[in-house]
A and B are shown apart, each in its own frame.
Chain A
Amino acid sequence: MTDQAYNFAYLDEQTKRMIRRAILKGVAVPGYQVPFASREMPMPYGWGTGGVQVTAACLVPEDRLKVIDQGADDTTNAVSIRKFFQRTAGVAVTEATTAASIIQTRHRIPETPLHEGQILVYQVPIPEPLRFLEPRETETRKMHELEEYGLMHVKLYEDIARHGTIATSYAYPVKVEGRYVMDPSPIPKFDNPKLSDSPALQLFGAGREQRIYALPPYTQVVSLDFDDHPFDPSKAAHDCDLCGAAASYLDEVIIDDQGGRMFVCSDTDFCRGRREAGHVGALGVPLAEGGM
C-alpha cells in the first residue's frame, strides 16, 4: 500500500525530472560522472541515497523491484530500502533475479545473467576512481578531461612492484568504451567481467558525492591491467558449502569457537535456486529434508 502523504516514489516531480535528465546524459556519455543536485533523503548518506534516488526516478508502478546488499536480499539495509519503495511507490518486490525489472544493489552483481530490459542500479560511495590518488575534485575532473590516467597505472604498477600482483581486490577500476576510467562501485573484482557487454542497463548513483553515471547495455568495459600482468578476476578456490556452486562469489562464515568456517554463496537467490534444483554442497542438506 502506498503512503499517500508522499508523491509516487517519494521524490517530488521537479527532483525526478532533474535526476532523469542527469541519467539520460549519463547514458549518452558512458562512464562519465554527471553532477546532479542530490537531495537529502530520509536515510543517511553512505547508505544508498544515490541508488535510492536513481531507482525512485526510474520506477513505474508496473515494476518488480529486487534490492540486494552484499548479494543478499535479507541483509538489513536491503530490507530497509525495499520496504521504503513498497511504502512510497507501492511496487511489487521479488527476490528472484530473473523476475526483477529493476535491481538495486550494493557491492555485487547477481550471479544469474541479466537480460534485456532490466536495470541494475548501483549504490556508489566514492564515484571518482582517481579520488584516492588525488583528493581534489578540481584536479580529477581535469584528469578525466585530458584522459590523464597515467597516475592510475602508476598505482597499479607500484602494487606489482611491491606485491608481485595488483593489490586491488574490489572497486577495481575499469575503462569504458576506450574513454573514461570509471569506478564500478565496491564490487569484488570477480564481478568486473559482468560489467561489460551486459544486456541490462547499468546505472550508478552516488548521493553524497552528487554524481550519476551509466553503462548502456552492450557497452565495452575493460578492467585496467598490463600485458605482463593481465587482469585476474579469480576468487578463493572453494565451492559453496550449501549448493556446491564452483563459480559463484562466496561469503566466509565462522561457524564455531575453534575457527571452523564454511563458504556460502553471497548471492542468496542464486544459492536457493540451485538448492531447489537439487544441488547440495559439502555441508548442505537437500531442501526437501527441511534444511535451510
Chain B
Amino acid sequence: MYVAVKGGERAIDNAHAWQAEERRGDPAVAELALAQIREQLALAVNRVMAEGSLYDPDLAALAIKQARGDLIEAIFLIRAYRTTLPRLGASRPVATAQMAVIRRISATFKDLPGGQVLGPTFDYTHRLLDFKLAAEGAPVPVAATAPASLADVPHVMAFLNRDGLIEAEPAGDASPPDLTREPMELPASRALRLQAITRGDEGFILALAYSTQRGYGRTHAFVGELRIGCVAVELDIPELGFPVEIGEVELSECETVNQFTGSKTEPPQFTRGYGLVFGQSERKAISMSLVDRSLRWKELGEDCTGAPAQDEEFVLMHADNIQATGFLEHIKLPHYVDFQSELELVRKLRAEVLAAQEAAQ
C-alpha cells in the first residue's frame, strides 16, 4: 500500500546534523580557529566582507568556517546577519588620498609623487606550487621594511584634473541611496550602480569587465591608479559638532583613465571609471572600474552597441550572487504541482496529435 512521504521535520534535523559532522571533517585533524582563517585566508575574508557589505573580519571568518569554505554561502550568512542590524548613520566620505597605502601602482605614469609601491602582491610570483608550504612549522617569513611616510599620497587623477585633461568629478553632498533599504529603481544613479557592483559577484563583474576588453562595449581603459590600504572612517555627531573617527577599514581603490570624448562644446578629455571594494580585492576593484565606465555610455553621449556591460538593467539585476544562487537553487524545491499541470498538458496535446495522425491514416 502506498504511504505518502512524511517526516520532513526529522529529515531536516538529521540533514543539519550530518552537515555539522561533515563540516568538522576528520576529528583527528585539528579544528580550524577563526583567527587562522582571518589571518591566513585573509583574501577569502575580504571577499566575504566585500560582497556581504559588512566590514567585520572576525564575523567573515566565522561565516567561512560555518559555510565550509563555500564563499557564496558565507556571504549569504553575513548578509542575513547584516540585515538585522540597525542603520545608525552614514559616515563621511572616506578620504582615500589620505590612505595609509600598502600598495599603490599607476600604469599611466612611470613615477609620481608618493611613488610606485608594489606591496604584497601575487603579480610577479611564478605560479609554481610551493611545496615548502605543505610542511608545517616553517620559519615565520619576514619582509624588509622601510620607514612609513606620513605624507598624503595624492591621486594620479588629480594631476590630470589640474590640466583639465580628465573629466571633472566634483564632490557632491547628496546622500547616496542605500540599495539594502530601498527597492532598486531604474534607471539607476551612478552611486547606486557603484553600490550594486561593489557588492556584486566577483566572477560576474570580472567576466563583464573582461568582455569590455574584448570589444563588447570597449572603453580603452588604463589603470590610472590602483591603491590598497587603510583609511579612517569618520562619523558626524550632530551633538558634538565635529566628526569622530569610529575605526578604520582596508580598501582597494581603482581609477581608470579611459578613452577620451569631446563634443562641439567640450574639448576632448579623458574619462573615468571607478572601483572601490572592502579589503585587498584588487581584481574586483579593477573589474568594477571597467564595468562602471562601460555603464556610463549614456551620460557621456556614447553609442550603445548593445554590449552586456552597457546594459544597466542586465548588469544590476544579475550581479547579486545571493539573489542569483537562491533563485537558481530554488528549482530543486518541489514543483510537483507545476510539473503535473505541464504533464497533463503535454499528454493532452500529444493525444490530440496522435488521434489526428491516426485518423489521417
Identify the A interface with B (CB < 8 A): 6, 12, 35-42, 44-47, 49, 69-71, 74-80, 83, 106-108, 125, 136-138, 163-165, 167, 169-171, 186-190, 208, 210, 235-236, 241-242, 249-253, 255, 262, 264, 266, 268, 283, 285, 291-292
Contact = CB atoms under 8 A, between A and B. Distances in A.
A19 to B, nearest CB: 11
Given A74-B8, A164-B352, A253-B2, A46 B329 contact: yes
Contact of B341 (A74, A75, A169, A292): A169
Interface of B: 1-9, 11-12, 76, 79-80, 82-84, 86, 180-187, 313, 317, 322-323, 325-330, 333-338, 340-345, 347-349, 352
A37 B181 contact: yes
Nearest to B10: A79
Given A6-B84, A44-B326, A46-B326, A70 B4 contact: no
Contacts of B6: 74
B330 A79 contact: no
Contacts of A78: 8
Nearest to A265: B4
B183 A70 contact: no
A70 B333 CA distance: 10
A140 to B, nearest CB: 11
B9 A46 contact: no
Contacts of A77: 333-334
Given A37-B181, A163-B349, A167-B349, A208 B327 contact: yes
B86 A190 contact: no
The 8 A-B pairs of least Cβ separation, nearest first, read A45-B326, A46-B330, A44-B326, A169-B341, A46-B327, A35-B183, A79-B8, A188-B341
A291 B183 contact: no
Nearest to A35: B183
Q: Which of A39, A45, A79, A187 has the most CB of B within 10 A?
A: A45
Nearest to A36: B183
Contact of A235 (B5, B80, B330, B344): B344
B341 A170 contact: yes
B337 A251 contact: yes
Contacts of B7: 74
Contacts of B330: 44-47, 125
B323 A208 contact: yes
A93 to B, nearest CB: 12
Nearest to B356: A164
A188 to B, nearest CB: 4
B338 A170 contact: yes
A46 B83 CA distance: 17
B327 A125 contact: yes
Contacts of B82: 40
Contacts of A12: 84, 86
Nearest to A253: B2
A124 B219 CA distance: 39
B186 A39 contact: no
A292 B3 contact: yes
Given A45-B322, A107-B337, A255 B2 contact: yes
Contact of A37 (B183, B329, B333, B352): B183
Contacts of B336: 70, 251, 266
Contact of B187 (A41, A69, A138): A138
A41 B323 CA distance: 11
Contact of B79 (A35, A40, A47, A106): A40
A205 to B, nearest CB: 13
Contact of A44 (B83, B313, B329, B334): B329
A188 B344 CA distance: 11
Given A137-B313, A249-B337, A266-B337, A170 B11 contact: no
A249 B327 CA distance: 26
Given A78-B8, A125-B327, A169-B342, A39 B333 contact: no
A283 B338 contact: no
Contact of A187 (B185, B337, B342, B345): B337
Given A138-B187, A188-B340, A235-B344, A291 B83 contact: no
